[in-house]
Amino acid sequence: MKRIYERETDALFSASFTRNPAFARAFLTLVDGRPENAIVGVSHQTPHKGAGHRGSIDLELTRADGSLLLIENKIDAGYSVTRSGDPQPDRYRASIAALKSRGVQAASVLLAPQIYLGGTRHGDAFDHQVSYEALRASLVGSDLTLLEAAILQAATPYDPIPNSSSAAFFADYEAFARENFPELVIKHNPNGNGVRPTESRTIYFDVPRTLRTWATLPRPRMSLQCRDSGAPSASVKIMLGGWGSRVGSIPV
CB 210 within 8 A of CB 187: no
Measured distance CA(74)–CA(117) in Å, rounded: 9
- CB within 8 Å of 60: residues ≥ 6 apart: 42, 43, 44, 46, 68, 69, 70, 71
Surface-to-core class of residue 22, CB atoms within 10 Å of its CB (0-12 exposed, 13-18 middle, 19+ buried): middle
Among 50, 73, 70, CA closest to 61: 70
C-alpha distances out from residue 25 to 18, 70, 129, 134, Å? 11, 17, 16, 12
- CB within 8 Å of 185: residues ≥ 6 apart: 205, 206, 209, 210
CB 184 within 8 A of CB 210: yes
CB 150 within 8 A of CB 75: yes
pLDDT score of 103:
96
Measured distance CA(47)–CA(69) in Å, rounded: 14
Among 186, 165, 189, 191, CA closest to 175: 186
Surface-to-core class of residue 17, CB atoms within 10 Å of its CB (0-12 exposed, 13-18 middle, 19+ buried): buried
Q: Read out DSSP for 192-241?
A: GGG--BTT--EEEB-HHHHS---TTSPPPEEEEE---TTSSS-EEEEE-T
What pTM did the predictor assign? 0.66
Taking only the tens of pLDDT, the chain with its 252 residues reads: 578 999 999 999 999 999 999 999 999 999 999 999 999 999 999 989 887 677 789 999 999 999 999 999 999 877 665 554 556 788 899 999 999 999 999 999 999 999 999 988 888 889 999 999 999 999 999 999 999 999 999 988 666 678 899 999 999 999 999 999 999 999 888 777 778 888 788 999 999 899 888 877 778 889 998 887 677 888 888 887 777 777 787 776
C-alpha distances out from residue 128 to 21, 78, 122, 198, Å? 20, 18, 12, 37
CA–centroid distance for 73 within its chain:
8
pLDDT score of 234:
86
CB 167 within 8 A of CB 195: yes
